[in-house]
Amino acid sequence: MIRDHNLTSHTYNEEITFKIDTSTLDEYFKMFKLFQVKMSELERDKEI
């Protein structure tokens, strides 16, 4: 996760872009996938 919000200025620094990209893929994608699985399970249980 990005620790210093001052690093997210409107300049396109490649290092910061890389940090944002890897944070998104490493952390948020996994969380969204888990959310998707859980919602699918709830929907399936609701149909039973």
Distance CA 40, CA 22 (A): 26
pLDDT score, position 6 = 61
Within the chain, what is the greatest distance between any pair of CA atoms? 52
How do residues 1-48 score in pLDDT, each as one tens digit? 556 556 555 566 888 888 888 888 888 888 999 999 999 999 999 886
What pTM did the predictor assign? 0.50
d(CA 36, CA 47): 17
> For residue 8, what pLDDT is reported?
55
The pLDDT value recorded for residue 5 is 58
pLDDT at 16: 85
Q: Could you write out the three-class secondary structure of 12-39?
A: CCHHHHHHHHHHHHHHHHHHHHHHHHHH
